[in-house]
Structure 1
Amino acid sequence: MSIDVLLSLMPPHVGAGSVIDWDATEKVWGSPFPTDYKEFVKHYGAGSIENFLAVLQPSPDGSGRMADETSVAQELWEELEGIPDVEAEPDRILAWAMDGTADLLCWMRTEDDPDEWPVVVYRRLEDAWQLYECGMVEFLTRVFRAEFPQNPLSSTAMWGVPTPLFLTRREATRIRESGRDPWEGVVE
């Protein structure tokens, strides 16, 4: 699914987006990243959707929040023995987001082509993993449109939200410092 669909549902604010040296970052991380994710980062950057889902961004030195959440996800994958009938070692799990209920949204790096990596979600409230045969942008779009048979996340904060709001931390802080609530109108 094209990033254009997501851009129309969730237009990025002025100043959103990050410029990343993907060649250097991928070398440090020892892995390429999916094209749709790179497009997401280009247009949005790291930040929050609906004051609920924190989308992570790789640091150029391989540390930081994405690395920390990936480590947690890999430990959970190993502890729960992944998903029945799905073969993947814990080191094949790479986190790209976490939500307000401590769900982890990850890729399962099963193919050489990162554009073929499915999304796997650890639902904290169920203490279980679920596989979704789509990429990050399609996953988010289908959550916003409520197109999965059931909500893949532990909360309905983004489920069926027709015009979700994305804010970088910098933009949320700027709005807050102006005396307004950056998430006004967002139902939690």
Structure 2
Amino acid sequence: MDIKKLNNILPLPNRAYDTGLNVSWPLIDDKYSFPKDYIEFITQYGIGRIDNFLTLFNPFINNDDWNFFKQKEWIIADLSELNESDPDYYSFILYPESDGLLPIGITDNGDYIFWVVSSANSELWNVAVIAARDSDVEYHQMNLVSFIEGILSKKIRSLCFPMDFPSSNILFDNNDFRL
């Protein structure tokens, strides 16, 4: 299972926040379930920053800066504006279109992480990355947890991320997310 491989690389926090434990997980737009690998990640890690660089949005946090539903609206609106303002440069396929990009995370450099919504079955969704201020989309044929595990174990490389990520001492830090 992918989450166990990730647990070996990314130590669990002493205390996880906004994990969704003992609550019913919402649907995305009353239509899609969250992928199981993402649910496992949030249940175990909650909200926090991976190796002081990557943060996944969370449907349970009250802070709009990290809330999945708020960020989904804002990022899709921003990218839609870019598509309209310069269609020769920006041509992102955005959720809810078929194979549309659905934002799930952000890096400290402003790179976005997405699910590629290719099916009504969220277990089939892959991952994409757009570097800050870039028009190219980098696609990865794997689920979100496999992508994170692959990046942290250096089995895969994203050209969007800096060469010094991940660090030699990978941590999950949630101190900045406490209320």
Question: Could you tell me the TM-score, scaled by structure 1's length?
Answer: 0.73
Identity of aligned residues (%): 18
Partner of 1:4: 4
CA distance in 2, matches of 1:30, 1:169: 33
* 1:137 aligned partner: 145
Q: Give the match for residue 47 of structure 1.
A: 48
Higher fraction of helix: 1
Rounded Cα–Cα distance in structure 1 between residues aligned with 2:159 and 2:48: 20
CA separation in 1, counterparts of 2:152 and 2:168?
6
Aligned amino acid, residue 49 of structure 1: I
Letter in 2 for 1:81: S
Could you say if the C-alpha distance between residues 97 and 89 of structure 1 is closer, same or farther in structure 2, counting changes exceeding 3 Å? Answer: closer
Which stretches of structure 1, 4 residues or longer, exceed 6 Å deviation after superposition? none
Change (3 A) 1:28 1:89: closer
Deviations 1:98-133 (A, max 9, x none): 001100101011112211101011111533211110
In structure 1, the residue matched to 2:129 is: 121
**Which consecutive unaligned segments of at least 5 residues does structure 1 have?**
83-87, 175-188
Change (3 A) 1:56 1:144: same
Among 149, 155, 158, the alignment partner of 1:151 is 158
**Which whole-Å CA distance do the structure 1 matches of 2:58 and 2:30 have between them?**
12
- RMSD over equivalenced CA pairs, Å: 2.8
Corresponding residue pairs, total? 164
Could you tell me how far apart the structure 2 residues matched to 1:151 and 1:27 are? 27
1:165 to 158, 162, 171: 171
Aligned partner letter, 2:120 = D
Q: CA deviation at 1:134?
A: 0.4
| TM superposition shift of 1:168 | 1.6
Q: 1:93 to 1:126 in 2, by over 3 A?
A: closer
Q: Quote how far apart the aligned CAs of 1:71 are.
A: 3.0
* Cross-structure match for 2:91: 81
User: For structure 2, which runs of at least 5 residues remain unmatched after alignment?
Assistant: 84-89
Stretch moving more, 150-159 or 44-53: 150-159
1:44-103: CA deviations, max 9, x gaps? 011101221112101489x76323432344342671222xxxxx5532432211001100
| TM-score (normalised: structure 2) | 0.76
